[in-house]
Amino acid sequence: MEKIAVLDSGGQYCHLIARKVRELGVYAEILPLGTTPKKLARYSGVIISGGPSSVFDKASPQPKPSLFGLPIPMLGICYGHQLMAQHLEGKLERGNANEYGRADLRVRHEHPLFLELPLRQRVWMSHGDHVTKLPPGFETLGDTRQCSVAAMGDLRRHYYGLQFHPEVIHTAYGAEILRNFLLRVCRCRMDWHPEDSVVKIFDKIRRTVKGRRVLFFLSGGVDSTVAYALTVKAIGPENVHGVYVDTGFMRLDETREIQEAFSHLGYGRVDVVAARGQFLSGLRDVVDPEKKRQIIGRLFVDVQEQVVEREEFGGHDWILGQGTIYPDRIESGASSNSAVIKTHHNRVDSITKLIEQGRILEPLEDFYKDEVRKLGRVLGLPDALVWRHPFPGPGLAIRCLCTRSTSKVQADAGIDGLAKAAGYRGFLLPIRSVGVQGDSRSYAKLTVLHGGPLDFRSLLPLATAITNKHPQTNRVVLALAPKRWRPGEWTVCRATLTRKRISLLQEADRIVTRFLHGQGLYGRIWQCPVVLVPLSRSGGETIALRPVTSVDGMTAEAAQIPGAKMTELARQLMALNGVDAVLYDLSHKPPSTIEWE
């Protein structure tokens, strides 16, 4: 199979590129920018991603100097384009005016890269530095009003650079440009169909397992289910032991539903380990979200060790199976330039040790979520499992926000001013949640807007303006119920993880999930985390809804569910005993993450 290497210059851009390339039917792998040319010589082409750095910074990520001598086609995107110019003796200038957003590209050279595409096309830019003088052997293929070298190429060596981002949907013909690069420049066959990989995955499983038994912890989510199903089919149910840990942080009735689903599938025995007490007491008084994740990760491993010690595994050499997928692996630092935003619970220390000992099986480690779903369909898994919304390993524990101190909510003139200009009112809430800003983790306060309708046309730009202008906040919500607030009436209350709070969240989550199914909305969104926020007016708490659309969870947009439907859902949630308010999250990712934590 032909492969394209996507070199990671930092940020999340490389995933978008690799996914796009795979969608176009060519297998792509993400590799560190410093990968040796010797290794890269095995690929049909190299794409160098964009990234947040400037080539003028001393510490900017750099490729091996001999990269730009490789006799294979190469495409630099944004920072990758600039690196190409820098290393091949072109000239660059540090940008004074950043070019950000939409631009009109004028194609100056009818080249196979732009084959059958209009000579003027909309592209998406995000850069400060720019190329001012072409490297020897290159010619300008396209320009924009602000950027004289928006596309360049050395037609003899098949090296190309694009200042704009073909991988984002805002570039009108981005997919076509990438397809032309793959097909006409790299001359790749479009032969990547994830569904065809099943036999290869079976082989890989057998080679990794080497006659040992596999212990699989199942979450009921699509990744672990597909990984488990593949393993059962590869080595037989008698060699796979499925265990489902009931942490108490799952959805209502989830444990029973999962047991039933697996027994219907005939995939051998799946044991349920009841560990509610252990998890809840381990998290008593823990309010920091990262600590929660670390503790949950450790508790999972403790439970896992207890399971292993039990008799049926005594005497058997075993390895651990996991449903880790490609972005999990890259986000946890597999590629050198990606920052750790959150600790993934399948990459805590003890798991890393098992990896070092060669005792981990991760059949899906090279696949994206949409590809995992295709594999699930090939394996004949039911649609309800394959199309399930993602649910994080630590479950509702991270959707139940905790705080150590009680504080009154106060007005904020700056935020209220911005909100008023758009016909709303707004204040800042002393409750923090995780976000991702400039490719790093943020942990900042929440902005609540109220007093106006769920009108996305005014609310979405307002939310962006607020998070851009006020870095102390990374998330903006609209109050669905009550509609008008007096900030002084509300209190952020001390709250930890308790059974009572988790039960309330489970009830709310069930109402939301049923509602989404009932309204035909479930399949139209990526996910809708339901979050419990310790914000109280009359002794209750607040429910926040986080419906998002996304293709891979790496970036996301606030889903635009019509106001009338949300009013009805808010009414149902307000009828729950202990709910004082319902909020609708308007933030994109970035700057917010999908989960609040």
User: 553 is written with which tokens?
Assistant: 């969870």
Sort strands 491-492 and 407-408 into parallel, antiparallel or unpaired: antiparallel
Among 51, 392, 534, 547, binds ligand XMP (CB under 6 A): 392
Q: In this structure, is the dihedral angle defined by the CA atoms of residues 157, 161, 167 and 172, taken in order, positive or negative?
A: negative
Measured from the CB atom, the residue of 328 and 412 that comes closer to ligand XMP is: 328
Measured from the CB atom, the residue of 258 and 594 that comes closer to ligand XMP is: 594
Measured from the CB atom, the residue of 230 and 418 that comes closer to ligand XMP is: 230
* Other CB atoms within 10 A of residue 26 CB: 25
CB of 267 to ligand XMP, least distance (A): 20
Among 527, 536, 542, 587, binds ligand XMP (CB under 6 A): 527
Give the interface size with ligand XMP as a residue count (CB under 6 A).
13
Q: Identify the DSSP state of 97.
A: S
User: Is 250 among the residues that bind ligand XMP (CB under 6 A)?
Assistant: no
User: Is 241 among the residues that bind ligand XMP (CB under 6 A)?
Assistant: no
DSSP assignment string, 496-532: ---HHHHHHHHHHHHHHHHHHHHTT-GGGSSB--EEE
Please choose, out of 16-24, 174-182, 535-543, 589-597, the segment that lies near ligand XMP by the rule CB under 6 A: 589-597
Torsion of CA 244, 249, 250, 253, to 10 degrees: 100
User: Is 589 among the residues that bind ligand XMP (CB under 6 A)?
Assistant: yes
Please choose, out of 162-170, 190-198, 480-488, 587-595, the segment that lies near ligand XMP by the rule CB under 6 A: 587-595
User: Is 292 among the residues that bind ligand XMP (CB under 6 A)?
Assistant: no
CB of 326 to ligand XMP, least distance (A): 13
Radius of gyration of the chain, Cα coordinates, nearest whole angstrom: 25
Among 142, 248, 393, 540, binds ligand XMP (CB under 6 A): 393
Q: How far apart are CA 176 and CA 166, in angstroms?
A: 9
Q: Identify the DSSP state of 489.
A: G
Q: Which residues are catalytic?
A: 78, 165, 167
Among 50, 80, 376, 394, binds ligand XMP (CB under 6 A): 394
User: Is 373 among the residues that bind ligand XMP (CB under 6 A)?
Assistant: no
Measured from the CB atom, the residue of 329 and 374 that comes closer to ligand XMP is: 329
CB of 22 to ligand XMP, least distance (A): 19
Task: Classify 201 in phi/psi space as left (phi over 0), alpha (psi -120 to 50) or beta.
Answer: alpha
Q: Is 101 exposed, middle or buried (0-12, 13-18, 19+ CB in 10 A)?
A: exposed
User: Is 165 among the residues that bind ligand XMP (CB under 6 A)?
Assistant: no
Q: How far apart are CA 434 and CA 473, in angstroms?
A: 10
Would you give the distance in Å from CA 592 to the centre of its chain?
A: 11
User: Is 390 among the residues that bind ligand XMP (CB under 6 A)?
Assistant: yes
CB of 553 to ligand XMP, least distance (A): 4
Measured from the CB atom, the residue of 82 and 527 that comes closer to ligand XMP is: 527
Measured from the CB atom, the residue of 41 and 340 that comes closer to ligand XMP is: 340
Q: Are 426 and 450 in contact (CB under 8 A)?
A: yes
Subset of residues 321 to 350 that bind ligand XMP, contact rule: CB under 6 A: 342, 344-345
User: Is 220 among the residues that bind ligand XMP (CB under 6 A)?
Assistant: no
Measured from the CB atom, the residue of 133 and 298 that comes closer to ligand XMP is: 298
* Amino acid present at 151: A
Contacts of 377 (CB under 8 A, 6+ apart): 195, 386
* Other CB atoms within 10 A of residue 114 CB: 21
User: Is 268 among the residues that bind ligand XMP (CB under 6 A)?
Assistant: no
Among 61, 553, 590, 591, binds ligand XMP (CB under 6 A): 553
Measured from the CB atom, the residue of 76 and 392 that comes closer to ligand XMP is: 392
Q: How far apart are CA 228 and CA 538, in angstroms?
A: 46
Contacts of 261 (CB under 8 A, 6+ apart): 220, 382, 384, 385
User: Is 593 among the residues that bind ligand XMP (CB under 6 A)?
Assistant: yes
CB of 446 to ligand XMP, least distance (A): 15
**Binding positions for ligand XMP, rule: CB under 6 A:** 342, 344-345, 390, 392-394, 527, 553, 589, 593-595
